[in-house]
Amino acid sequence: MKILMFGRGVIATIYGWALQWAGHDIEFYVRPGRAATYGDTVDLDLIDTRRRVWGQRVVEKWPVRYREALEPDHDFDLIMLSVPHHRLAEAAAFLAPRVGQATVLVFGNIWTEPLAAIGALPVDQIAWGFPQAGGGFGPDGVLRGALMPSVVFGTLDQPPTDRERAVRQAFREAGLRLKEQPDFRGWLWVHFVSDAGLFSQGLRLGSLSDLAGATRDLREGLLAARELLPLLEARGLDLRRHRGGVLLFRAPTWLTAPALAWLTAHVAPVRVNFAAHSDPGAEEPREVCRDALAEARRLGISVPRLEAAEPSFAREGTGRA
């Protein structure tokens, strides 16, 4: 399969590497002028858990190819679109007239209605998924992160199409297990509020990396996410369809917070993932918290912990999300 990764972000790079390892033809679309800045290799330092529970460290210079233009008559089979949720509308608007015959894998957080979030992208060419990997580029340009053994795919209450099945097969060929979510819209929203809860406390400390091993702060993050669950119900989500997804936040925090603290401090893939999110200026965590808080206020849902953390993510000069 010929695959175009939209941008050279963390997720695009990690999965591009994994898919190329499986024999797929990978290119990256980047903004004009970026290819020369990036150079023709990516320095990787990854924990790859596809074959070993505790992961295998991979350190290598991975040769990559870039393109700075995309015409509608291209021959890509798949375009992987993994961008911060607040950049999705912009990216979708750029891609819509340039999709050609490719399937577009929308691969990341969404907080609005999914079909509205993709704008003018052709619905019959969309596949929905979510990564199970993470990390960050350090000041030295090295991508440090972790690739988990599975990846999430979903549909909006309908069976996968032939295009969606072909995308799933590509990820299977890369040695990844698939987790299917039939109510993908709901799953995305549960994930979004879980991010908002943890991000709010990470930002209060400085960055997500500061949460690693911090039992008390992780407890506050779990409780912040718990306070957001009524917001999902106010949006019409049936949480009974997502019992597994909300269990971490409904369970007693005297049990879950120490367990999560131990995982983030001692289990290599989880520790590396948290440690790599050390940029205090990262915008996406702030946007996640702002959007969750704005929706809670719109629907009249009390979220005291998220509100208390608001000074850590408010837009500069406003004091409010």
pLDDT band at 319 (very low <50, low <70, confident <90, very high): low
Q: Is the pLDDT of residue 244 over 80?
A: yes
**Residue 45 contacts by C-beta under 8 Å, 6 or more apart in sequence?**
57, 58, 59, 142, 143, 144, 145
Taking only the tens place, the pLDDT of each residue in 126-139 is 999 999 999 999 99
What average pLDDT does range 56-62 have in this prediction?
97
Strands (E), 99-213: 103-107, 126-130, 133-137, 143-147, 150-154, 177-181
Host H or E run for residue 227: helix 215-234
Residue limits of CATH 3.40.50.720 in the chain: 2-182
Segment 258-273, tens digit of pLDDT: 999 999 999 888 888 8
- Residue 268's pLDDT is 87
Q: Which residues pair with 80 in a beta bridge?
A: 5, 105
Residue 222's pLDDT band, with cuts at 50, 70 and 90, is very high
pTM score: 0.95
Using the predicted structure, report yes or no on whether residue 321 has a pLDDT greater than 80: no
> Per CATH, which fold does 2-182 belong to?
Rossmann fold (3.40.50)
